[in-house]
Amino acid sequence: MLILLPPSEGKSVPHSGPPLDLDGLPFPELRRTRRTLVTALTTLCRTDPAAAASALGLGPRQADEVTRDARLRRAPCAAAIEVYSGVVFDSLGYATMSRRQQHRADDRVVIASALWGLVRPTAMIPAYRLSGGTTLPGLGTMRRVWHDPLGTALSKLEGLVLDLRSGAYCALAPMPRHESWVSVRVFHEHAGRRTIVSHHNKATKGLIARAALTSAREPTGLAGLQSALTSWGYRVERERDASATLDVIVS
C-alpha cells in the first residue's frame, strides 16, 4: 500500500546540507516540470520580490520567504520528512517510529507538492514557499502546470493507494478511477452537523497514516481499508456516489 500525503505550508529550514539536485529526486518523469517551476519561481523572486510576495500570498513580514525562494538552487537541503513540519507530519510522528517503521514509511509514503509534484520522505529538498493554489505569472495555475505530467505519474502508482491529499493538491491532478485508489475525507461532527475543520482534518490524516504504517497487518483493497480504519477506532462511512471514497467522522 502507498500513502499519498499533502505537504505542509510550514517548513523547517535546513541550516546545512547539500544543494538541490533536481536530477536526484524520485519520479524522474517529473524532472522537466520541476525545472520549469524552479526557474520561474526563482526568477520571479529575484527580479520582482513584490510581485512574488503577491503571487505567493505573503505579507510584509514574510519577505524572508521570497528571499529563500530566490536562492532555491543554492539552499541547503534535508530529507523531505524533516523539512515538512505541519500538523499532518506532527501527527504522523516519523521521528518516534521504530527504525523498521521508518523504513516502511520511506518505502510507502509519497508526498504531494506544488513544486516537486511527488517526493519520497528521503528526497533531499530545501525549504520553499509554493502552494497548490498559487498562480505564477507566465505559467498560470499549478493545476495547469501539473495536470498532465502529474496525472501520468499518479496513474503509474501500483497497488492500493490511500489518498490523503488536501483539496488544493487533489486539484493538481485527479486520482485515477479504479478501486485500488481510495480517497479519505475527514469530517468533524458537532451537534449533528458535519464540517471540514482544517486542524482536525490534517491531524486525523496524519494519525491514519501512522496507524497504517505501524499496524501489524497491511490492509488490502477498499473493503480491507474500511475494516482497518474501523479497527483503528474510526467511524467510517462509504460514500454512495463514489465507490472509492471513505468518509471518516470525528467529533
Average pLDDT, the chain: 93
CA–CA gap between residue 156 and residue 20 (Å, rounded):
26
pTM across the whole model: 0.94
Question: How would you label 148-184 residue by residue, b for 16+ Cβ within 10 Å and e otherwise?
Answer: ebbeebbeebeebbbbbbbebbbbbbebeeeebbbbb
Q: Taking the alpha carbons of 148, 149, 153, 154 in that order, is the dihedral positive or negative?
A: negative
Q: Residue 66 corresponds to which cell in the numbers above? A: 521570497
Average pLDDT over residues 84-104: 96
User: Does the pLDDT of residue 250 top 60, yes or no?
Assistant: yes
Give me the pLDDT at residue 87, please: 95
Q: How high is the pLDDT of residue 241?
A: 60
- 110-143 residue pLDDT tens: 999 999 999 999 999 999 999 999 999 999 999 9
pLDDT at 220: 84
Q: pLDDT, tens digit, for every residue of 160-172?
A: 999 999 999 999 9
Q: Encode pLDDT of 158-216 as tens digits.
A: 899 999 999 999 999 988 777 688 999 999 988 888 888 788 899 999 999 999 999 98
DSSP string, 66-99: HHHHHTGGGS--EEHHHHB-SHHHHHHTGGGS-H
Q: Could you tell me the residue range of the domain that residue 98 belongs to? A: 2-250
Confidence of residue 96 (pLDDT cuts 50, 70, 90): very high
Q: Which residues contact 172 (CB under 8 A, 6 or more apart)?
A: 112, 114, 132, 142, 143, 146, 147, 150
Q: Where do the H-state alpha helices sit in 93-240?
A: 99-108, 142-155, 167-170, 198-214, 221-231
Q: Tell me how many domains the chain contains.
A: 1
Are 162 and 1 a contacting pair, CB within 8 Å?
yes
